[in-house]
């Protein structure tokens, strides 16, 4: 039975944003795109984040084609912005435009702006305004990143990837900015362990503890604390060589040459007597 708790993570969204979105006519895929953006921006105390159409489609359980159409429409309506739109060949960095006065779907009609029921001509260059706004967001993100990297360590980029992997593997919602979590991960990195070592331990203990009473211990302070080396050394050789992706359930490879109880196959009938 699902038992979500706020201490496992939550996303803060202004009531004004919710009220404004309720008045906008969005289809199901467009709503899923917005929820994915909310989850990976506001959910991690960020203004924007790089999100591919494939990732959003998997998150919302919908088609990539539908997601691309939804993103295009939301951008046209100025409900979401692409911070790195001038960069070619890179993943789009999307953000939600919380200034709902700029949304075209409920404020702009035929070149006029409607505010409090009064019609006025639009005097501002919308494109220039958006460009200036996205540059401001970039500056905010840069400053936020400096604050986010509490320990100013070269291993800071690992935190988000490790916790995201743990959350996807276990279905939990730990937050990478938690100071205790960051301290444990940073300690293991300073000990010489790699990102892959951290993922190996996650895979091992998730496989052992999911669905048991030990599942509650699938948390950073348990996995990456003092017993980490013991957990890592107990990983099977196959796991130490390669980690299966967290989103896929792959069957372990079978080594027929080392199977003691493997049946002996008689091919004599096929090759002839």
Q: What is the pTM of this model?
A: 0.43
Q: Taking residues 123-128, what's their average pLDDT?
A: 49
Look at residue 112 and give its three-state secondary structure.
Answer: strand
Please give the pLDDT value at position 2: 80
Q: What are phi and psi of 64, to 5 degrees?
A: -65, -40
DSSP state, residue 152: -
Looking at the chain, how many residues does it have?
273
Please give the pLDDT value at position 120: 47
pLDDT exceeds 90 at position 97: yes
CB atoms within 10 A of CB 175: 19
Please give the pLDDT value at position 48: 92
89 pLDDT band (50/70/90 cuts)?
confident
Q: Which residues contact 155 (CB under 8 A, 6 or more apart)?
A: 185, 186, 189, 190
Q: Taking residues 76-84, what's their average pLDDT?
A: 92
- Stated as kind and residue range, the H or E segment containing 250 is none
Q: Taking residues 51-64, what's their average pLDDT?
A: 92
Pick the range with the lowest mean pLDDT from 40-49, 109-118, 248-257: 109-118
**86-20-16 Cα angle (round to 5):** 100
Alpha-carbon span 160 to 113, nearest angstrom: 41
pLDDT exceeds 50 at position 148: no
């Amino acid at each position: 039975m699902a038992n979500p708790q706020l201490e496992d993570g939550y996303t803060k969204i202004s009531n004004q944003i919710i009220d404004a979105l309720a008045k906008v006519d969005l289809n199901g895929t467009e709503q899923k795109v917005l929820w994915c953006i909310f989850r990976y921006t506001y959910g991690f105390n960020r203004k924007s984040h790089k999100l591919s159409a494939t990732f959003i489609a998997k998150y919302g359980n919908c088609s990539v084609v539908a997601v691309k159409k939804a993103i295009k429409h939301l951008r046209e309506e100025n409900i979401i912005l692409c911070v790195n739109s001038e960069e070619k060949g890179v993943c789009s960095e999307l953000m939600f435009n919380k200034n709902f006065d700029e949304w075209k779907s409920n404020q702009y009609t035929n070149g006029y702006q409607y505010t409090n029921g009064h019609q006025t001509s639009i005097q501002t260059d919308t494109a220039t305004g958006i460009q200036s706004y996205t540059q401001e967001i970039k500056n905010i993100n840069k400053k936020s990143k400096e604050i986010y990297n509490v320990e100013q360590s070269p291993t800071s980029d690992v935190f988000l990837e490790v916790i995201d992997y743990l959350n996807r593997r276990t279905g939990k919602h730990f937050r990478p900015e938690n100071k205790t979590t960051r301290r444990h991960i940073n300690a293991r990195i300073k000990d010489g362990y790699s990102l892959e070592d951290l993922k190996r331990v996650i895979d091992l203990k998730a496989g052992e503890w999911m669905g048991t009473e030990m599942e509650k211990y699938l948390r950073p302070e348990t996995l990456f604390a003092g017993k980490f080396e013991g957990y890592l050394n107990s990983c099977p050789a196959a796991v130490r060589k390669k980690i299966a992706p967290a989103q896929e359930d792959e069957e372990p490879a079978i080594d027929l040459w080392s199977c003691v109880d493997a049946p002996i196959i008689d091919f004599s009938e096929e090759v002839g007597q």
